[in-house]
């Protein structure tokens, strides 16, 4: 159901470049099938307007020649006036040359054309791609019902016995009750060696509210941008060994304040 909502949201847009983060290979098949079901009615429509990019022959990556062939497709008039879907199950299959060629295409995506790429690791995706994509995160573990954040809280506490229950509760509870909180006070208790925990909590909470706000376009667009910004800053901080709890606290505060403002 969650995947259906995500694809339906993309279908409601005029065009775009979307990057979906998934957690398992099983989700990829579901995404591809749902794309075909929601965007097309007949098999001939799929045959002429759905393009799945995969490495050729024994290659481990997608070549620049494949991207150039893809580019030629946009020179053809869309006689049937169908949506065009360019689907890639793992964006990290692109090599540097094919990425550079792709950038020239996604700068101006034609009407009724959708680049829908997936990845199981956004941290490996180049910044040039992240900055151009609308990022959507699919998280099966917290996709059902309004009590999912409470389930997330309980699960996080159970898996992190070395951290006080009160600390973990203090950073999740404000999102359950949608009340303001001083995240700097809570997160300063996490040292550099366990910052992965609040980072994962943040992404899961953000994912939960993305799923809840598909009909609230203003909030949804903000959450997508917040996710993209966080992934970028997290990657840069890890790369240069400058990650701090203050950085994560800033994102918790931004998410919390805007949910209170737009989410109720």
Q: Is 108 among the domain residues?
A: yes
Same domain, 154 and 246: yes
Q: Is 58 among the domain residues?
A: yes
Q: Are 232 and 130 in contact (CB under 8 A)?
A: yes
User: Does residue 258 register a pLDDT over 70?
Assistant: yes
Same domain, 50 and 107: yes
Same domain, 64 and 185: no
190: domain range? 148-262
User: Does residue 144 register a pLDDT over 50?
Assistant: no
pLDDT for 56 equals 83
Condensed to tens digits (0 to 9), the pLDDT of residues 13-25 reads 999 999 998 877 8
Same domain, 26 and 97: yes
Q: Is 14 among the domain residues?
A: yes
Same domain, 105 and 153: no
Domain end residue (candidates: 90, 107, 138) = 138
Q: Is 143 among the domain residues?
A: no
Same domain, 102 and 183: no
User: Does residue 253 register a pLDDT over 80?
Assistant: yes
Cα(196)–Cα(145) distance, rounded to whole angstroms?
26
Q: Is 34 among the domain residues?
A: yes
Same domain, 133 and 47: yes
Tokens linked to 133: 């994509």
Same domain, 242 and 131: no
Q: Is 22 among the domain residues?
A: yes
Q: Which domain CATH number covers 98?
A: 3.40.50.300
- The DSSP secondary-structure symbol of 94 reads B
Tokens linked to 230: 């966080």
Beta strands in 25-138 (DSSP E): 50-52, 84-88, 113-119, 134-137
Q: In what order do the strands lie in the sheet with 134-137?
A: 50-52, 84-88, 113-119, 16-21, 134-137
Q: Is 221 among the domain residues?
A: yes
Tokens linked to 111: 């009407």
Same domain, 67 and 116: yes
User: Does residue 48 register a pLDDT over 90?
Assistant: no
pLDDT for 139 equals 59
Condensed to tens digits (0 to 9), the pLDDT of residues 85-112 reads 999 999 999 988 888 888 888 888 888 9
Mean pLDDT, the chain, as a whole number?
86
Domain end residue (candidates: 78, 112, 138) = 138
pLDDT for 79 equals 62
Domain end residue (candidates: 117, 138, 159) = 138
Same domain, 126 and 20: yes
Same domain, 7 and 130: yes
Which single residue is written with the structure tokens 């965007």?
A: 39
Cα(81)–Cα(110) distance, rounded to whole angstroms?
12
Q: Is 11 among the domain residues?
A: yes
State how many domains the chain has. Answer: 2
Condensed to tens digits (0 to 9), the pLDDT of residues 194-235 reads 899 999 999 989 988 887 887 787 888 888 889 888 988 988
* Mean pLDDT across 171-181: 93
Condensed to tens digits (0 to 9), the pLDDT of residues 2-13 reads 788 889 889 999
Same domain, 213 and 130: no
Nearest to 85 by CA among 140, 132, 46: 46
User: Does residue 77 register a pLDDT over 70?
Assistant: no
């Amino acid at each position: 159901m969650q995947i259906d909502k995500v694809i339906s949201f993309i279908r409601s847009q005029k065009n775009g470049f979307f990057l979906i983060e998934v957690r398992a290979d099983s989700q990829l098949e579901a995404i591809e099938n749902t794309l075909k079901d929601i965007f097309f009615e007949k098999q001939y429509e799929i045959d002429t307007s759905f393009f799945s990019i995969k490495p050729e022959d024994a290659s481990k990556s997608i070549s620049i020649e494949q991207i150039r062939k893809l580019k030629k497709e946009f020179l053809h008039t869309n006689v049937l006036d169908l949506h065009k879907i360019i689907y890639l199950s793992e964006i990290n299959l692109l090599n540097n040359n094919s990425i550079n060629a792709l950038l020239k295409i996604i700068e101006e995506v034609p009407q009724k054309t959708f680049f829908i790429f997936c990845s199981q690791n956004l941290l490996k995706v180049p910044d040039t791609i992240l900055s151009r994509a609308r990022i959507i995160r699919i998280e099966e573990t917290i996709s059902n019902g309004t009590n999912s954040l409470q389930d997330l809280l309980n699960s996080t506490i159970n898996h992190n016995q070395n951290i006080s229950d009160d600390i973990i509760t203090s950073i999740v509870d404000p999102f359950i009750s949608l009340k303001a909180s001083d995240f700097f006070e809570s997160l300063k208790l996490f040292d550099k060696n366990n910052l992965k925990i609040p980072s994962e909590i943040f992404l899961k909470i953000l994912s939960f509210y993305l799923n809840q706000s598909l009909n609230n376009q203003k909030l949804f667009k903000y959450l997508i941008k917040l996710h993209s910004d966080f992934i970028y800053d997290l990657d840069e901080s890890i790369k240069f060994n400058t990650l701090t709890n203050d950085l994560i606290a800033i994102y918790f505060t931004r998410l919390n304040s805007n949910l209170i403002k737009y989410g109720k």
